[in-house]
Amino acid sequence: MDTQVKQPNKLDSASSIGQMMADSFADIKRQAAEGKKVVWANGLPGFLLARGADMPVLHAEGFIAGLAARGQEKPLQDAAEAFGLLPDACSYARSFIGLARIAKGHFQLESSMHESICKMPKPDLYINVPGGGCATGRLWGDSVAAICDIPAFHLEPRFCWDESDREHNIADFVRQERELIALLESVTGQPYNWDRLKEVLVEVKKATSLRQEIMKLCQHVPAPASFFDMAASIGLVCHLVGVPGTGDLLQKMKEEVEHRISQGIGCVPVEKYRLYWDGILTWSRLGVLARKFAALDACLVAGPYTHLLFLPRADMIDPERPLQSIAYNVCDTLANYDYSHRVKAVADFCQEYSIDGLVMSETQTCRGINGQSFALMDGVARKLGLPAITIGGDSCDPRFYSDAQVDTRLQALLETIEARKKIRQVQAD
Amino acid sequence: MSESNVSDIMNRFRAVVDTPYEKLSTWKEANGKKVVACSPMHFPEELIHAAGMLPVVLQETGEAVTAGFSHVYPFFCGITRNIIDIAAKGELNVLDGVVYTDICIQNRNAACTLRQIMPTVYVGYLQLPTSLTREGVMQDTIRELEKTRASLEELAGHKIDDRSLEQSILVYNKNRSLLRRLHELRRGSPRLLGFRDMQVVVKSSMLMPKEEHSGLIESLVAQLEKVTPSPLEGKRLFISGHLCQSPKADILDVVEGVGAAIVDDDLYTGYRYYAVDVELDGDPIECLARRYLNKSIPIPTRSDITGIRWEEYIVQRVNDIGAHGVVVLIAKYCEPHIFHYPFIKQALARAGIPHIMVETEHEVVSLEAVRTRLQAFVEMLG
C-alpha cells in the first residue's frame, strides 16, 4: 500500500483557525500589557463567564494542544519536571504548570524563540471547569494558583451517578456560576457586564449550532470532513469560544462541507472503513495519524471529544438565560455520566455515523476520560457487534506514542472489520 | 513485658489483615450481619456502623492484576487496579454494598466500573464537595450525608436514627483515641512496636468491628505501657504520603532495616485515619460534616486555601518530632500526591530537611534498588 499517495483531504476553510488562535494569544499579551487582568482556565467552556467580565482567557487545552501539534510543548514540560512534577501526571496539566513557572520567572527558557512561543502573561485568576468533573483539573488549577499566588475557582459539575440527579446537578452548577460572577467582580473591581455575556452567547449559539450541523453532515457517506478536521477546529468552541468571527468561520466550513457532499468528495481518497475515536487526541501526532488512516482507506469519522464534550447542547443555549445555557453544556456532557448512559449514547452515535469499528485512545497520562473505555468497548460490542482496539499515546507528551503499535493494531482492526463484512455477506447470500 | 500477650494480640490483627475479604466471608457467616465497604479517605464509616452493618475500608491485596486488565488500564493507581481486579474475580461478592466518595477521578471511575461488574452488589457514590472555599459547603455536605444515610437505610432495611449514629460516633471516637495513644507511645519509643506492626494495627481497625478492635488495643497499650522505653539508636524518620492505600510491608521493613526508625507519619493507614475525632455536640450528621470539613490535617483530595498547606504541615510535624529526614512514598499514578509533591520537595528544601522520594507500585519492584537508595539516604543524614 503506497502510504505516500493517499493523503487526507483537509478542509480548506479550517486553515485560518491557526492564525485566529495565534492572534488570540497575541491579544492576551497585549491586553495584559495594557493592565487588563488575565484569566487562565482549563476544561469546559464554563470559563466563558470571564468574557462577561471583559477578561482575556487563556484556555489550557487550547494553548497546549496547539503547541503539541507543532512539537513545541517540551519546554513547558521541562519546566514542570524541573519543579518535581512526575511525567505520569496529566500532560495537559504538566504543560500548563510549566507555563505558570515560566510566566513567574521560575524557569528560564533556552532561547528567545521559546520565549515568544512558551511565555504568556501571568494570570490573575484561575478557573477550573473540569470535563466530567475530573478532579485532576482541581489539582492542576490549585498548582497554578499556588505558583502564581492567585485565587483559583473550581466550577465543579456534579457527576450524574443516577439520571434523576440531572436537574439538581444543573441547578447546583448555576449556583456555582453565581459565586464565580461575584469573584469576577471582586477581581476586576467592576460590576459584571451581563449584556456583554449575552452578546458572547449569541456568538456561541451561532458557532456551536453551525458546528453541530457540520458534524451531522459528516454522517454522509463518504464523510466530507473527518474527526481530524473537527479536532483541528476545536479551538472555535473552546479557547476561542464566543470570540467574534468564530461563527463566520464555521459558516464557511459548513458551506465547504455541503459543497463536498454535492460533489461526492470525501475527506479521505478512499473511504472503505468508517471509524470512531474515543478519548483525547494524540495532538503531537495529529498529522501522522490523519495520514495513516487515509493511507489505509479508513476515515476517522467522529468521536466524543470533538462531538460530545465541548458545548454539545447548542439547543440549550439561550442568550437570555446564560447561566442555565452554560450549566447544560457543562453538566450534560457524556463524560459526566456513568457507563450505562455512555454505552447507549456511543452506540447510538455509532449507528448515526455508520461506524465500522472503534479506536480507543489510551491517553496514558489521563485517568479521567478513558476510565470507562473497557465498559464502552464491551457495551458497544454487545449492542452492535463492532470491533474495537486501543492504541497507546498521550494528549501532549509524545514520549508515550508508539508508531509501530498503532500500525499493528490499526491493521488488525481493519482486517477484523473486513472479515466480519465478508461473514455478513455470506450470511446474507 | 508479657511477650505472648503482645504477640497474641498482633496475631489477631494480622489474621484480619491477611486475606481480608476471605475473613469477611467467615465473619458474615458467623454473625449474620451485612458488610459494607467504603473507599478510603473520607467516607464516614459511622453511618454504616449505625445501620447495624459492618463497615470496612477497601484494602489493596497482594494479588497481581489479571482479570482487572479487561476493565482498567495499567496506568491507573494500584488500589484502583487491584480493587477492580478482585471485583472482576468475584472476591468482593461477599460485600453487601460498596460506597465510594469523590476523592479523585480514578476513584470515581472505579465506582463506575464496580457498578458495572458487580450488578448484584449495591454500589453507592457520595459526592462531598471538594472545593472547600465555595459557599454552602456545609449545607452541601449535610445534604449529601443525609442522602447517603437514606441509601444505607434502604440497604439495611431499617432507619438509622440519630441516637444510633451518636453511639456509633462514640465507638469510633474511642477507637481513634486508643490509636492515638498507641501512636504517642511509638513516638516516644519507636522500637516498642515496629512501624510495619503499627500499620497492621491500623489496617485491622478498618476491617473488624470497632468494639472488638478497641478491646484489643486497650490490652496492647496496657502491655506496651509497662515496657521501659529504650533510647533510640539510629535516625528518626517521618514517613509521608500513601493516600488511600497502605504501603507494602516490605518497603517499610527496608526503611526500618537500614538503621532508621519511622517515628511519625501522615499516611492514610496511619495518623491520618485517627488524628481527628467527630466532635459530638449537636446533630450527628452535622457533626460528621464538620469532621469532613475540618482543616487541621491538610488533605490533597480537597481544595482548600484557607487551611494549612500539606507541605507546611509536614515541615511542622517533622520539627515537632525532631525527625532527621522524611521518606516521601508516592503510590504510582496517585495524582493528588503527584501534584503536591513539587511543593513538598520545595518546602522541605527551604526548611533544610533532607528527604527521599520513593515511588511505590502495586506490583513490588526491586526492593534491592530501594534498599540501596534508602541506605544511602540514611547514611547521608550523618
**Helix, strand, or coil here: B343?**
helix
A373–B104 C-beta distance less than 8 A:
no
CATH class of the domain whose range is A15-196: alpha beta
pTM to 2 decimal places:
0.96
For chains A and B, what is the number of CB pairs under 8 angstroms? 126
Share above pLDDT 90 across residues of chain B, in percent, rounded to a whole number: 89
Quick check: A356 contacting B, CB < 8 Å?
no
Quick check: B105 contacting A, CB < 8 Å?
yes
Higher pLDDT among residues A395 and B230, named by residue:
A395
Q: How confident is the model at residue B1 (pLDDT cuts 50, 70, 90)?
A: very low
Q: What is the pLDDT at residue A1?
A: 46
Query: Can you name the residues that pair with B359 across neighbouring β-strands?
Result: B330
Q: What is the pLDDT at residue B361?
A: 93
B70–A161 C-beta distance less than 8 A:
no
Q: What is the bridge-based pairing of β-strands A39-43 and A57-59?
A: parallel
Along the 429 residues of chain A, how does pLDDT read in single tens digits? 444 578 999 999 999 999 999 999 999 999 999 999 999 999 988 889 999 999 999 999 999 999 999 999 999 999 999 999 999 999 999 999 999 999 999 999 988 777 888 999 999 999 999 877 789 999 999 999 999 999 999 999 999 999 889 999 999 999 999 999 999 999 999 999 999 999 999 999 999 999 999 999 999 999 999 999 999 999 999 999 999 999 999 999 999 999 999 999 999 999 999 999 999 999 999 999 999 999 999 999 999 999 998 999 999 999 999 999 999 999 999 889 988 899 999 999 999 999 999 999 999 999 998 889 999 999 999 999 999 999 999 999 999 999 999 999 999 999 999 999 999 889 888
User: Nearest-CA residue of chain A relative to B81?
Assistant: A371
Q: What is the pLDDT at residue A4?
A: 58
Its sign, for the CA torsion A104, A105, A110, A112, is positive
Q: Which residues of A touch B340 (CB under 8 A)?
A: 139
Q: How confident is the model at residue B75 (pLDDT cuts 50, 70, 90)?
A: very high
**Helix, strand, or coil here: B360?**
strand
* Rounded CA separation B305/A192 (Å): 25
* Rounded CA separation A227/A304 (Å): 10
A338–B112 C-beta distance less than 8 A:
yes
Higher pLDDT among residues A45 and B66, named by residue:
B66
* Rounded CA separation B115/B122 (Å): 8
Out of A375-389, B53-67, B85-99, B220-234, pick the least confident.
B220-234
Each domain of chain A, given as residue ranges in start order, spans: 15-196
Each domain of chain B, given as residue ranges in start order, spans: 20-158
- Residue A159: which of B71, B108, B134 has the nearest Cβ? B108
DSSP state of A338: -
Contact between A95 and A67 (Cβ < 8 Å)? yes
Name the CATH code of domain B20-158 (choices 3.40.50.620, 3.40.50.11890, 3.40.50.300, 3.30.365.10). Answer: 3.40.50.11890
User: Nearest-CA residue of chain B relative to A131?
Assistant: B105
B112–A143 C-beta distance less than 8 A:
no
Q: pLDDT at residue B197 above 60?
A: yes
Quick check: B139 contacting A, CB < 8 Å?
no
